Amino acid sequence: MDVTPALWAATVAGIIALIVMDFVTVSRKPHDVMFREALLWSIFYVGIALAFGVLMMVWQGSDIGSQYFAAYLVEKSLSVDNLFVFIIILAQFAVPTNLHQRVLLFGVVLALVLRAGFIAIGAAALSTFAFTFVIFGALLIWTGIQLGRHRNEDPEPQDNAVVRIVRKRFAFTDEYDGTRSFTKVDGRRMATPLLLVMIAIGTTDLLFALDSIPATFGVTQIPYLVFAANAFALLGLRALYFLLKGLLDKLIYLSTGLAVILVFIGIKLVLTYLHEVNTAFPKISTNASLVFIGIVLVVVALASWLKVRRDPAAIAHAGRMTAGDNDEQGSAG
């Protein structure tokens, strides 16, 4: 696929316009988001992502279109798991519900910036050093195994090493002060808990990128498609949070399913490298990856539904560790 600077510029400009629109919407008046509003925003962002995929398919052919849809499906499924951790962060820091939108939007923008950097580094590494496929593959296989091992554990964002450092460097108030990260108490400048929340969100976003970017490169090696899939999956994350927050704890087997997907993509990356070295090794096609990922997600949804029917008290866990967790607990995935 020949991606011109003009196409990159137009895509980035479109994404920035969507972010600005989100900021205007959120900044007008902090409020609790109801189901109908979340549903409409979710439909809007999923519609944009699907329209982009159809455009790629019509313009560049079915193979490019399939690569994009596979990448988007991977990113979207991983972003749902990210929502578990966001819910835990918002709950542990007792963030007022009318500030949830602002915190999530900050997380989305920071994630986009971080992942753009990771995508550039990943693309350069893959183009100059083919063994990067094996490195990425091994990282995903290890991450998938860790995610599976810790599928029934929740992370502790307040134990985040960066959060602990910030607590020592700044004096904090006990109460939030609207949307302010800093405020004055008796003439003294102090940080509000909102600053800690932003830092906790930002550091977990960084860790999420370490598995999501290699996973996306596992289904397409075109940086433009990797970036677009990440951007469209993340842009709809805020609305998806409000749409699914009452249902997320019912996706009992989501972490297990994502562990399987990450291991599968890791194996695919290793086979891709081996196939380049010796064509006797099989290569997993994009369409096969798309079908496999889709089947795993359907099985996860059905199995979770059956589990909840049999055991209504069952709840899902994030299955991810945060920065600063010790090795016995596992690493971030």
Query: What's the CA gap between 115 and 212, in Å, rounded?
Result: 9
Query: What's the CA gap between 116 and 193, in Å, rounded?
Result: 28
How many helical (H) and strand (E) elements, i.e. helices and strands, does the chain have?
Answer: 11, 2
List helix spans (H) across 278-320: 286-310
Q: What is the CA radius of gyration of the chain?
A: 20
Model confidence at 78, pLDDT cuts 50, 70, 90, reads confident
Going 240 to 76 to 293 to 89, the CA torsion angle's sign is: negative
Query: What's the CA gap between 226 and 216, in Å, rounded?
Result: 6
pLDDT in tens, 241-254: 887 776 767 778 88
Query: What's the CA gap between 249 and 287, in Å, rounded?
Result: 31
| Domain assignments of the chain as residue spans, ordered by start | 5-310
Beta carbons of 115 and 248 less than 8 angstroms apart: no
pLDDT in tens, 22-56: 888 766 666 677 778 888 888 999 999 999 999 99
The pLDDT of residue 319: 55
pLDDT in tens, 183-212: 888 888 898 888 888 888 877 777 777 778
SS3 label, residue 218: coil
